[in-house]
Structures are given as structure tokens and as C-alpha cells.
Amino acid sequence: KPVDTNIFKPGVGRKETRDKLNAGDRFVVAYLGRLSNNKGARYLVEVAKKIKEQGKSQEFLFLFAGGNIIDEDAKIIHSLKDTYGLDNIYFTGKLPHNEMMKYQAAADIVVYPDVTNLPGFSTVLAESMAMGKSVIMGIKGFERATPIVHEKTGIIVEARNVNEILENVLRLKDN
């Protein structure tokens, strides 16, 4: 997968973007790309809800960088933030491609809750790998669709499994 490694360089723009997000020393968990239902963005919102229920929401910032093709998908995800009263979620909205690397840099880890519906190996995943990010991806059973090897180059979980994603977000925060 071609990735412009002159643009997607680990760490470049990290401090500036974290300052813009008011991230401080919080652990930034990012979802990058379209907020579509078939990619499972709403399941990362559910993880944020569980973090809140554990009394740990001040330790985390959940970053959703990217816009939508279908406006209804965004409305559903945005409404969950309000319904659950989550103040540790940041939505960027649509971004030009050359801005995405800044948000990649700001993230501590990247979560793709459901990549079982890919037409192929996604560009945003390749960019996360080029940025040296720890990746949690919901693709169990479809591992051959990506170069991610469980526990070596990322963590593979069952797609849309909020509890597995949560467990691994907490584990990566601690290590």
C-alpha cells in the first residue's frame, strides 16, 4: 500500500496537535477515517462510555478524525456522545488528507473497531503503521486481509467487540 512517508512521519506535529486538542497528558485513543456504521466507529464511543463508568474518563481523550459520506452516520455517533454525557470525545469533522497525519501523530493508539467489510487493505491503516502507532483492529477471522499479526504488529480482536477493545485499550495504556 503506498504511503507518502515524507508526510506520514512518526511524531511530526504531535505536540502542536495535542495542544490544539487540549489533550494534556491524557491517553489519546484515535479512530481515523470515515465515521460510517460499517467501520464500527460507534463501538469506540461505547468504549469511551465504559471508561466513564469505570471513573477513568479524565485519563483518556477519544479522538475521531475524519468526516462522513453519509450525514446520518455522523448524527448517530455524535448523538451517542451527548446521550452518554461524554466530555472526553473530540470530533474533527472532514479533514483534507494532508491534515490527517497531525491527528495520527497526536494519538497514542489507533483503534479500528470493524475492518471486516473492507474492499481491500485500507490506506488509513497503512498510514497508522507508517506512523508507528499501536493498532487495535476488529478483524478476527479475516486476518489475511491485512499485514497485522496479532501480538506482533498489532492487536486483533473480534469486530465490534466493545469488551475486547476496552480490555486492550487499558492494557496498551499501561504498557
**Model pTM score:** 0.94
How high is the pLDDT of residue 170?
98
How does residue 118 score in pLDDT terms, banded at 50, 70 and 90?
low
Question: What are the φ and ψ backbone dihedral angles of 131, each rounded to 5 degrees?
Answer: -80, -5
Q: 47-106: per-residue pLDDT in tens?
A: 999 999 999 999 999 999 988 777 777 788 889 999 999 999 999 988 888 899 999 999
Q: 34-49: per-residue pLDDT in tens?
A: 887 778 999 999 999 9
How high is the pLDDT of residue 119?
58
- Cα dihedral 11, 12, 14, 16, rounded to 10, equals 160
Query: Buried b / exposed e across 31-61, counting CB within 10 Å, b at 16+?
Result: bbbbbbeebbbbbbbbbbbbbbeeeebeebb
> Is the CB of residue 33 less than 8 Å from the CB of residue 67?
no
Q: 156-175: per-residue pLDDT in tens?
A: 999 999 999 999 999 999 98
